[in-house]
Chain A
Amino acid sequence: MSAAPLLAASGIAAGYGKKEIVRGIDLAVAEGEVLLVLGHNGAGKTTLMRALFGLIPPKAGRVTFAARDITGLRPAENVARGLAFIPQGHGIFATLSVRDNLELGAFALPERSQLSQRLDTVFALFPILAERQRQVGGTLSGGQQQMLAIGMALMHAPRLMILDEPSLGLAPNLVDKVMQAIRTVNRRFGTTILMVEQNVRYSLPIADRVAVLKTGLKIYDGAPAPLHDRVELMKLF
């Protein structure tokens, strides 16, 4: 399988103000795979994702998506090309209803006629969201909010979904559910997944490949199997 990667980043440097948090990272995500990004607090995982998606401009480096250069493009443009981003924590519109949230997720959808079809798909995947369509987003439980966030991203049928710590703040059994949902999205719809996580326990099993970041650099990029040895894993933190 030597197809060109769906997303390829080379030499990415990024940070806030004068600070450089990501200091030169190459990353490639193959179409259809689940790439897990691990690393200690402050390693640059979130900064890297935000730079890839265009929320912050990279200070250096190049990003291509489906062989087209997307370096420095704004989020709206990336969404149009088939990327989706689920941020850490507050990934929904808490004061709007579940249905409004989902419809907003399809804001960038070129064919508005597909809206109800996409809604059906999301509701089929997450029946709980169908039940609570009219409920205000902020009153959903943590796990349901995360499902809503994923549902919102699915609304415009992205090719690549970037998730930043989807397990944050969730109880373990919910983390499991969320990870299973992510795996389903990958298997059923073929959506490529690029996921940052701190919770190794439930995320490692669904990963096809793992990259580990440390103080702004990538120190591991390969199969998940060796990392099942916890001693080996700890060395990387």
Chain B
Amino acid sequence: MDYLLHILVMVALYAILAASYNLLIGFAGLFALSQAAFFGVGAYTTAILATKLGLAFPLPLLAGVLVAAAVGMAVALPALRIGGDHLVIVTLALQIIAIAVMVNWRSLTGGTDGIAGIPKVVLLGVRLDTPGRFLPLALAGAGLSLAIAARLASSPFARAVRAMRENEAAAQAVGKNIVAIKLAVFAFSAGLAAIAGGLYAHYISFVSAETFTLDVTIYVLAMVILGGTGNLWGSVLGAVILTALPELLKFIALPPDIADKSRQVLYGLALIAMLLLRPQGLLPEIPTRRRRILAAAAVPAPLGATAPADGAITVEGRGLERRFGGIVAVSGLDIALRRGRIIGLIGPNGAGKTTAFNLMTGFLRPDEGTVRLHGTPLAGLRPHEIARLGMARSFQDLKLFAHMTVLDNVMVALPRQKGDSLLYVYFAPWVVAAEERLNRDRALAVLDFVGLADKAGETAENLSYAEEKLLVIARLVATGAEVLLFDEPLSGLAPNTLEAIFPIIRRLADSGKTICIIEHNLDVIRGLCDTAIFLDEGRKLAEDAPDRLIADPALAARYFG
């Protein structure tokens, strides 16, 4: 009986570990191999503070959480600088360094002997020194950890995390600070793993380095994969299956050494089989409930405060210059965008149009020249900061958040969400909930605006070509930015679809937005734009009313030969 209870305690601890790892790998797509190290940091910190300083539960455990979170962020930071490709090797190195510290820093960690004699937890006068007595605490710990993880997973913050996983550039373009998001996710993942570590230390009363090696990381990884990335219940399920099932091996009489290895062989095979047969895991990532869309309460005004459509200059680029190796992409470019006006940017392929957008929105730094928004220079600002200041862009290759619903694609773009801040998510959930309801209506209104309201529950990757283009427009409008830069928003759309979209963009301009469109389709330029700028070889060759520009034989010759 005691043994069964022991298994249950271990299941609880592994459930915490699997959930913590899922946040990192499943939700955020951050492929780290250091989970066992975070587990170990939590365990050792608890062990050290409980034995050396005699601190009572839960202080050592809480300290372990903080230390692990700090370590998590410290590891994330250089890895972010270096680039996502190297996250694997950097976190693997952390894992090894952690073991080296545990084994070699004898005065602190007891070296290879580990730390023994960690005091048992005493709650309400009861000493939790048997599996049966520890189980309630373990379950409570698991319950709390899963609640924390679940709260995060269902928050607007998690929506931003998933958007980052789907497409980092697009997430930045809708105002998400992906560096901050990555740091936060690492901190949470490490902190939760440390809860398991602290509980483990008090349960076994002994910690040593062997418990926290790469093998354990892979074991927890198997649980996450089995249960389903992006689904926390899946992680619990994975923990249950991979902790309980190998116990069936006990029925075969094997020497303990072999039994242990056989168990590992089994879960390694289970992992491979899962990846081959059902890589998404047993439980799917929870889709947004497909609610029936009630007639959108009339919110006809587009997002953001309206402003006079008076043609005042909002964005100014002067003397912009950008080279790639020997190729000059943009040279001596002056561009001014105006409130209430739709300006078209045309030119042959490679003329520098998208580069100009990249320079204006912080995706590329100009070699020379300045960009000003309402007079404020934007030099050195990152894309998400510029988006938040009020200038946002869409992408020629769409960059939709493919595995998220249409509604989520738009909701994640809405500005100034308190739900993006974990402080609000945990300490003022009612504020976040109220805002979510409001934002849902706002998002539906935007979808209604572009004619996609009936597809709100659909996954973005299942949309038709035309629907995808509409979603791109909706997502950009949702940012509420006053300056909207559309990169080939309408290419390939049928004439009647175009006729339907023109008034939408016109209305945006009339409400005071500044709009610039890159397009090849001259019907669009003629039908929609107040002015057109002709770019070729990175230079502005002309700026005029579309009819005059298109009629100019010299320019037509440059465009088509």
Chain A residues with a Cβ under 8 A of chain B: 17-19, 40-43, 141-142, 167-172, 198-202, 204-205, 214-216, 230, 233-235, 237
Contact = CB atoms under 8 A, between A and B. Distances in A.
A79 B399 CA distance: 34
Contacts of A19: 461
B86 interface: no
B492 A169 contact: no
B561 A170 contact: no
A201 B348 CA distance: 9
A215 B523 CA distance: 17
Nearest to A42: B492
B520 interface: yes
A214 B520 CA distance: 13
Nearest to A176: B561
Nearest to B324: A169
B177 to A, nearest CB: 30
Contact of A230 (B396, B493, B559): B559
B462 interface: yes
A172 B523 CA distance: 25
Given A40-B520, A171-B537, A199-B349, A233 B491 contact: no
Contacts of B520: 40-41, 237
Contacts of A142: 327
Contact of B491 (A42, A171, A202): A42
Interface in B471-530: 488, 491-494, 520-523
B488 A201 contact: no
Contacts of A200: 560-561
Interface string B538-561: 000000000000000000101111
Contacts of B492: 40-43, 214-215
A219 to B, nearest CB: 11
A168 B354 CA distance: 14
B560 A233 contact: yes
Given A18-B462, A198-B349, A234-B522, A40 B561 contact: no
Interface residues of B, number: 25
B83 interface: no
A216 B465 contact: yes
24 contacts: A18-B461, A18-B462, A40-B491, A40-B492, A40-B520, A40-B521, A41-B488, A43-B492, A167-B349, A167-B350, A168-B350, A199-B349, A200-B560, A201-B348, A201-B559, A201-B560, A214-B492, A215-B465, A215-B466, A215-B493, A216-B465, A230-B556, A233-B560, A234-B521
Contacts of B461: 17-19
A169 B355 CA distance: 12
A6 B517 CA distance: 42
B349 A205 contact: no
A202 to B, nearest CB: 6
A170 B560 contact: no
A158 B348 CA distance: 31
A172 B462 contact: no
Nearest to A202: B561
A169 B324 CA distance: 11
B326 interface: yes
Interface in B103-152: none
**Interchain residue pairs A-B with the least CB separation, the first 9:** A201-B561, A40-B491, A198-B349, A234-B522, A40-B492, A215-B492, A230-B560, A41-B491, A237-B521
A141 B350 contact: no
A199 B561 CA distance: 9
B561 A205 contact: yes
B327 A169 contact: yes
Given A171-B537, A201-B558, A215-B492, 4 more contacts: A18-B461, A168-B349, A230-B559, A237-B520
Nearest to A142: B327
B2 to A, nearest CB: 51
Interface string B425-469: 000000000000000000000000000000000000110011000
Contacts of B350: 167-170, 199
Contacts of B558: 201
Contacts of A43: 492
| Residue among B396, B492, B522, B556 having the largest count of chain A Cβ atoms under 10 Å | B492
B174 to A, nearest CB: 21
B199 to A, nearest CB: 42
A13 to B, nearest CB: 14
Given A40-B520, A169-B350, A230-B556, A204 B491 contact: no
Nearest to A21: B465
A198 B494 CA distance: 19
A169 B328 CA distance: 10
Residue in A40, A171, A235 whose Cβ sees the most chain B Cβ within 10 Å? A40
B461 to A, nearest CB: 7
Contacts of B488: 41
Nearest to A199: B349
A227 to B, nearest CB: 9
A117 B523 CA distance: 52
A18 B402 CA distance: 12
Contacts of A40: 491-492, 520-521
A166 to B, nearest CB: 12
A43 B492 CA distance: 7
Nearest to B348: A199
Contacts of B494: 215
Contacts of B491: 40-42, 237
Contacts of A169: 327, 350
Contacts of A172: 537
Nearest to B463: A19
A199 B493 CA distance: 20
Contacts of B522: 234
Interface in B244-275: none
B393 to A, nearest CB: 16
A163 to B, nearest CB: 15
A211 B326 CA distance: 34
Contact of B396 (A17, A41, A201, A235): A41
A95 to B, nearest CB: 16
Interface in B38-55: none
Contacts of B560: 200-201, 204, 230, 233
Contact of B465 (A42, A141, A233, A237): A42
A234 B561 contact: no
Q: Which among A198, A201, A202 has the greatest number of chain B C-beta atoms within 10 A?
A: A201
A228 to B, nearest CB: 8
A199 B494 CA distance: 22
A167 B560 CA distance: 14
